[in-house]
Amino acid sequence: MAKSNYVPLFKTKQVRGRIFFRCIAASIFLGICFIVMYRVMFFPVGGKAERWTWIGLFLSELWFCIYWFFTTVSRWNSVYRLPYIDRLSQRFGKELPGIDIFVCTADPLMEPPSMVVNTVLSVMAYDYPPEKLSIYLSDDGGSDLTFYAMLEAANFSKTWLPFCKKLEVEPTSPEAYFRTASEPVNAEWLSVKKLYDEMKMRIEATTKLDRIPDYIRKQHKGFCEWDFVTSKRDHQTILQILIDGRDTNAVDIKGDPLPTLVYLAREKRPQYHHHFKAGAMNALIRVSSRISNGPIILNVDCDMYSNNSKSIKYSLCIFMDEEKGDEIAYIQFPQKFNNLTKNDIYGSSFRVIQQLELAGLDANGGPMYIGTGCFHRREALCGKQYEKNYKVDWKKLNDTKANESASVLEETCKVLASCTFEHNTPWGKEMGLKYGILVEDIITGLSIKCRGWKSMYLNPEREGFLGVAPTTLLQLLVQHTRWAEGHLQIFLSRYCSLVYGYKRIPLKLRLAYCPFNLWAANCLATLYYVVVPCLCLLKGFSLFPKISSPWVVPFVYVAFVHRAYSLGEFLWCGGTFRGWCNDQRVWLFKRTTSYFFAFFQTILKLLGYSQLTFALTAKVSDENVSERYEQELIEFGATSPMFDILATLAMLNLFGSFGAIKKVILDADEDFKVLDQFGLQILLCLVLVTINLPVYQALFFRKDNGKMPSSVTYKSIIFALLACTVAMY
């Protein structure tokens, strides 16, 4: 297309409120400068303990300032991308590229096959030519239960896909659609729902039985593969093409073609490291390149079903834009969830991060790759260096499918998913997803950008993908421990954005990675601020200016304006006031537990005392836990060192508040000198007590199974009393 006739396939829109944000940020920076002046000018000249306590608090405040600076940089110029899919259809018609979709699962107990089936069916039903779609399931659990579920999905897709097309179904996950539909549309609707319910019942019955009945095993040759499986960590490559989209007989009940559907359980042997999800993704990249070789790859987790059937076309509006599309390596959709409570009890929505911070990274060179809901350019994912004036011939890329029969492809592709294939190759280093760090997706995206590519962020009004958020506090904390540990590993490795991206990516983008990479590092300053002011209050050592002093103004201003602006942002992003309170509470819980464990686990790994592990988060909960989750009661019903820390910190601040209130009452006859001298410290303790109200409820008042275990209650009281005693005497 001639440049003079160029019409963009998407537009870029600045986020509203940028000027207001910058003014607030400037005023907060001014307040921070006055706080630093106060800490330097009023350095205590008393005892050694007082001086070191003051220095510790000053260093904590400096850390918060540095972290705030990184966050502000990442959000300084946020943008949104708005695709025009009508222009895409008019311009390219039937010359749309093939799309390979990767779905990853690893454990049939924590990630039930019925859930995996719904994700697979949802991406099979995209509003896209089915002959150009190829869906690959990576089953790292090597489970015949998951394989059976995929057979059921292949059969049900013959009915489900034409049904979705006819009624323009959204979302295209059967479970989600029938759960949210208000009433039957017609007789066909009832018939399809019955077929789905019957399929779901068969899958769940087989899963509960934990074995495949003999009469089912005889129905498909693929089950013979499990005769040679020793365990899920010791088995050969299992590869089955369940639907061959090139076969003219692979049609639905209306006679229309079906997408290709492939099941893969890559080879695993105890003596070979399998590199977790990164290894599974790299095996899929190689196998798919032999079978369908779609130039665009979408990867989703097994619990992230498609909620918007036009997501492919949205992403292609960017990839296929003649002026800006050729430099884009991947397009990241936000990770959103369908099971959040009204007030998001565990703060899982990431509202501000997804609507402002990731959009800020987009303006600075592109968002990070977060491991799911991401469309990749195959060439970029496989290690290609971006070259200036690089242009894509989409028609040429579409003529690369294999000509062999399905049975031949199954055999020839098995070696591509073997344990030894990657030996002495660039896979895991320069090609595919990188190995060696828990959050392999982050360093993979960063390395792609350092090869000259860019990325973009798409957050359409109708969510592209919806997943399952943790329904217990412990699940959430374990998940964030893994994320924070992986990010800190990146910061302390050669992949640190400040070093690895030097002269390769813009400075603002290098800085914008730091707030995420330094999650775990927040634990020390936060723990200091939670513990030390409270103990100093009991000791009678003031750490903040008097209420009557003008120096109190910058402290109050920075704290109040920063939190008030945070509340405003949260409400603007669609949250509630109670949701914001929950978000602040979980923010504190994560910083004092998840980030604390992640920090020290990372240090131990660097010193060689710990090995790399990968903890899956369960995607299902029992009925009582789910009921409490819906009632927005925090689930503490487990014994964990994380809960020991939370309860001890809560009790410590409760005792500190009691001591402060006692001092204020006794001081009432002396014009409240104690309140004047310790006002900010007392306020900090009371705020922390307010945040911890659900912890006190779980420790002393709740009677359900979600209460804090008695052992945790006893330990927290003892530890808190010991700390108070040491501080006072």
What string of DSSP letters covers 560-604?
A: HHHHHHHHHHHHHTT--HHHHHHHHHHHHHIIIIIHHHHHHHHHH
The pLDDT of residue 407 is 87
Q: Tokens at residue 513, please? A: 């990675």
**416 is a domain residue:** yes
- In this structure, are 87 and 67 located in the same domain? no
Q: What is the pLDDT of residue 615?
A: 55
| Whether residue 163 sits in one domain with residue 31 | no
Q: Is the model's pLDDT at 473 over the cut of 80?
A: yes
pLDDT band at residue 340 under the 50/70/90 scheme: very high
Q: Residue 671: what pLDDT?
A: 55
Q: How many Cβ atoms from other residues are within 10 Å of residue 230's Cβ? A: 12
Residues 397 and 322 in one domain: yes
Q: Could you tell me the pTM of the whole model?
A: 0.92
| 116 and 64, same domain (yes or no) | no
CB–CB of 252/157 below 8 Å? Answer: yes
Last residue of a domain, one of 412, 441, 470: 470
First to last CA, the chain: 81
How confident is the model over 149-161, as a mean pLDDT?
Answer: 96
CATH number of the domain at 119, please. Answer: 3.90.550.10
- Do residue 70 and residue 134 come from a single domain? no
Average confidence score pLDDT of the chain: 91
The pLDDT confidence band at residue 617, using thresholds 50, 70 and 90, is low
Query: Is residue 53's pLDDT more than 60?
Result: yes
User: Measured between alpha carbons, how far is 413 from 399 in angstroms, rounded to an integer?
Assistant: 19
pLDDT at 327: 94
pLDDT digits (tens, 9 = 90+) for 568-606: 999 998 999 999 999 999 999 999 999 999 999 999 888
* Rounded mean pLDDT, 252-274: 94
- The answer to whether residue 641 sits within a structural domain is yes
Q: Who wins on pLDDT, 355 or 378? A: 378
Indicate if 145 and 61 belong to the same structural domain.
Answer: no
- Of 100, 140, 144, 321, which is the active-site residue? 140
pLDDT exceeds 80 at position 357? yes
How confident is the model at residue 346, as a pLDDT?
95
Q: Which residue has the higher pLDDT, 230 or 477?
A: 477
Give CA torsion, residues 239, 245, 246, 248, to 10 deg.
120
Question: What pLDDT was estimated at residue 334?
Answer: 94
Per-residue pLDDT, 245: 86
Q: Is the pLDDT of residue 3 over 70?
A: no
Supply the Cα-derived Rg of the chain in whole angstroms: 28
What average pLDDT does this structure show over 437-441?
A: 88
Query: How confident is the model at residue 392, as a pLDDT?
Result: 85
38 and 146 together in one domain: no
Percent of the chain with pLDDT strictly greater than 90: 74
Q: Among the listed ranges 14-18, 68-72, 509-513, 551-555, which one has the minimum average pLDDT value?
A: 14-18
Give me the residues paired with residue 136 across strands: 102, 262
Cα 75 to Cα 20: distance, rounded to the nearest angstrom: 12
140 is catalytic: yes
Higher pLDDT: 399 or 193? It is 193
Whether 491 is covered by a domain: the verdict is no
Give the rounded percent of residues in the chain with a pLDDT score beyond 70: 96
Residue 402 has pLDDT above 70, yes or no: no
Average pLDDT over residues 348-369: 90
285-322: per-residue pLDDT in tens?
A: 999 999 999 999 999 999 999 999 999 999 999 999 98
Of 398-412, 480-494, 684-698, which gets the smallest average pLDDT? 398-412
Q: Give yes or no: residues 47 and 117 share one domain.
A: no
Instruction: With respect to residue 490, please indicate whether it lies within any of the assigned structural domains.
Output: no
Write down the pLDDT at residue 616: 54
DSSP 661-683: HHHHHHTGGGTTHHHHHHHHHHH
Find the catalytic residue in 303, 441, 583, 644: 441
106 and 47 belong to one structural domain: no
Query: What is the domain extent for residue 395?
Result: 83-470
Compute the average pLDDT of residues 513-527.
95
H helices of 144-293, in order, are: 144-167, 174-180, 187-209, 214-217, 276-291
Q: Which amino acid is at 589?
A: F
Helix, strand, coil shares of the chain, percent, nearest 5, are: 55, 10, 35
- CA–CA distance, 70 with 11 (Å, rounded to integer): 27
Domain for residue 480, yes or no?
no
Task: Let me know whether 45 and 192 are in one domain.
Answer: no
Q: What is the 3-state secondary structure (H, E, C) of 412-444?
A: HHHHHHCCCCCCCCCECCCECCCCCCCCHHHHH
Q: How far apart are CA 235 and CA 225, in angstroms?
A: 9
Among the three residues 470, 497, 530, which one is the final residue of a domain in this structure?
Answer: 470
The yes-or-no verdict on residue 612 having pLDDT over 60 is no
Can you give the pLDDT at residue 231?
Answer: 86
- Whether 49 and 167 share a structural domain: no
More confident residue, 445 or 399: 445
Give the model's pLDDT for residue 684.
94
pLDDT at position 611, please? 61
pLDDT band at residue 4 using 50, 70 and 90 as cut-offs = low
Mean pLDDT calculated for residue range 243-268: 93
Residue 428 domain-assigned (yes or no):
yes
Bridge partners (DSSP) listed for residue 134? 100, 260
565 located within any domain: yes
pLDDT value for 491: 94
pLDDT digits (tens, 9 = 90+) for 658-697: 888 887 777 665 657 888 888 999 999 999 999 999 999 9
- Total structural domains within the chain: 2
One domain, residues 112 and 183: yes
Residue 124 within a domain: yes
